[in-house]
Amino acid sequence: MKIALFGGCFNPIHYGHLILAETSREYLNLDQVIFIPAGKPPHKVSDLAPAEDRYQMVKLAIQNNKYFSLSPFELKSKGKSYTYKTINFFKRKYPKDELFFLIGSDTLLEIDTWEKGTKILELCSFIVGMRPGVPTEKVKKEILKKVTVFPLLGLDISSKELREYIGEGKSIKYFVPGNVEEYIYQNRLYGKK
């Protein structure tokens, strides 16, 4: 099988994440995309919702796509959530399958700040959805040589902006699936404290 690992805080998950996952699946003819919410992200994230809430939001968002699945691996792991640990775990779990790690173009610009730096690109094939307007010339040439880039009709949505919208009492309708929006409001996530 061809499997893409898709890690992130998903704080909250939004249509940009879902479009990235579905576009990669079609572009590379993937059998499965596994969403892996970060347990304890090493980079500071403002207003991080509890792990269980982020897990439940992803579960709601992907429930109608037979090619999408969800793993609690990073949520159950001790210590910081490092991508190299996640990749190594799934390499052991799926030794006969072809593994990819899915990221967006904004993440590609930061990859050399990750634990293990660019050496992480040697653990499996990295696939990158490039949004219009993100110039590839900003990415180091040695990094670009090690990744597969595909075009992305992306939406310019960020989880950080959505958290700010919620905190300001603005609508997030049509930025996230309806069931995720409902979950956020029912559980009072990201609101003014």
- Name the DSSP letter for residue 49: P
Tell me the backbone φ, ψ of residue 68, rounded to 5 degrees: -100, 140
Q: How confident is the model at residue 178 (pLDDT cuts 50, 70, 90)?
A: very high
Q: Are the C-beta atoms of residues 166 and 40 closer than 8 Å to each other?
A: no
- Name the DSSP letter for residue 37: E
Reported as half-sphere exposure (CB side, CA atoms, 13 A), residue 109 has a value of: 10
pLDDT greater at residue 42 or residue 7: 7
173 belongs to a structural domain: no
Alpha helices in the chain, H assignment, sequence order: 15-28, 51-62, 73-76, 83-93, 105-108, 141-144, 159-167, 178-186
59 belongs to a structural domain: yes
Q: Are the C-beta atoms of residues 73 and 36 closer than 8 Å to each other?
A: yes
Mean per-residue pLDDT of the chain? 92
pLDDT tops 60 at residue 9: yes
133 belongs to a structural domain: yes
140 belongs to a structural domain: yes
The CATH code of the domain that includes 67 is 3.40.50.620
Q: How confident is the model at residue 43 (pLDDT cuts 50, 70, 90)?
A: confident
What's the pLDDT score for residue 94? 98
Query: Residues 83-139: pLDDT tens digits?
Result: 999 999 999 999 999 999 999 888 888 888 888 888 999 999 999 998 777 777 778
pLDDT tops 90 at residue 142: no
39 belongs to a structural domain: yes
- CA distances (Å), origin 67, targets 23, 73, 81, 83: 12, 18, 24, 22
pLDDT tops 60 at residue 61: yes
CA distance 80 to 60: 25
Least confident of 13-22, 37-46, 57-66, 87-96: 37-46
Instruction: Specify burial of residue 85 (Cβ count, 10 A radius: 0-12, 13-18, 19+).
Output: middle
CA distance 16 to 157: 6
67 belongs to a structural domain: yes
161 belongs to a structural domain: no
What's the pLDDT score for residue 46? 73
11 belongs to a structural domain: yes
What's the pLDDT score for residue 72? 98
pLDDT tops 60 at residue 193: no
Within 8 A by CB and 6+ apart from 149, the residues are 127, 128, 130, 136
Domain limits at 52? Answer: 2-156
Q: What's the number of domains the chain is made of? A: 1
